[in-house]
Amino acid sequence: MVLRRGLRWIYNKIVTNTQRCIISILTAGPVPRHVAFVMDGNRRYARIHGKEVQQGHMEGFVALRRVLDICLRMNVHCVSAYAFAIDNFNRPKEEVDALMNLAQSKLLELCNEGDLLDEYGVRLNIVGRIELFPKALQEAIRKAENMTRQNNKAILNLHMAYASTDEMTTAIEDCVKFGLTHNIDPDTYFTQEEIDKHLMTTAKGSPPLDVLIRTSGVKRLSNYLVWQCCQNTQIQFSSIYWPDFGFWDFIPIILDYQRKIWSRRISA
Ligand code: IPE
Ligand code: MG
């Protein structure tokens, strides 16, 4: 028992130091400023492991922490994650309720003093139609965002009750309203740049999206950051279910990003 514990300790030390070493080598090269994740595959993960759906989502949250930690250690400035699509409200009530409860408890935990966001100075943004959530979750969101308001080293966007089409429609509506109330000529005002500025994700300070990663082998955008993906974004698909996604799945994606940046620089 003692021997096994000792061996595990040595193994963990080797893994941690190897990871640290790889991160310091990689961060000597170009690192994406903004990485987004479509965290897909929680229920299939739960099914193949004979677990409850809720457990799959719970382990999905653990994976989010893990991946966020890796990104922050790599100096990625902004991390976005698709936590809840507007369409997800159509899932069975029991599952939606469990997701709401999970968000309510975990959001506050993430923002606690001494926890990940505090440690790295990360500002939390919840991006989406927050008003669609139950009052208690809305309250937790407000509280969690306020707890990290002063942080300015990095950004975590959790897209919740979000859909790209909704984000774009709202931005266009806002643009039109602004133009009308200020009596501005639409030809000069109604531009791609103006719409971009009015997008919820941009308005919360996110830089252009460099890399979008979707897990679980599904090759669709599913209404996530569709506008942003047109900004020279590298889209990557991983066959790993989200709760299993980790360091060794992320590194080849970063290497591929660096390879493309370097080849672009050489051919420029
Ligand atoms: C993603 O995994 C969960 C959310 C972000 C809500 P799913 O719940 O879509 O799991 P699969 O894709 O059905 O396995
Ligand atoms: Mg899915």
What does each C-alpha distance from 249 to 67, 178, 181, 254, 255 come to in angstroms?
Answer: 10, 44, 49, 10, 11
The predicted-structure confidence for 55-72, as pLDDT tens digits, reads as follows 999 999 999 999 999 999
Residue whose CB lies within 8 A of the most ligand 1 atoms, among 216, 221, 237, 239, for a mutation test: 216
- In ligand 1, which atom is closest to the CA atom of 82? 5
Q: Is any atom of ligand 1 closer than 6 Å to the C-beta of 215?
A: no
pLDDT band at 264 (very low <50, low <70, confident <90, very high): confident
Give the pair of three-digit tokens for residue 158: 């959790």
Measuring CA to CA, which residue among 221, 248, 216 is closest to residue 235? 221
Nearest residue by C-alpha to atom 5 in ligand 1: 83
Domain residue ranges in the chain: 33-261
Other Cβ atoms closer than 10 A to 118? 15
Distance in angstroms (rounded) separating the CA atoms of residues 110 and 68: 11
Nearest residue by C-alpha to atom 1 in ligand 1: 40
Q: Is any atom of ligand 1 closer than 6 Å to the C-beta of 44?
A: yes
Question: Do residues 76 and 122 touch, judged by C-beta distance below 8 A?
Answer: no
Taking the CA of 44 as reference, the closest ligand is 1
pLDDT at 179 > cutoff 80: yes
Q: Is any atom of ligand 1 closer than 6 Å to the C-beta of 39?
A: yes
Measuring CA to CA, which residue among 250, 31, 87, 68 is closest to residue 148? 68
CATH classification number, 33-261, choose in 3.40.50.410, 3.40.50.300, 3.40.1180.10, 3.40.190.10: 3.40.1180.10
What is the distance in A from the centroid of ligand 2 to the CA of 242? 10
pLDDT at 130 > cutoff 80: yes
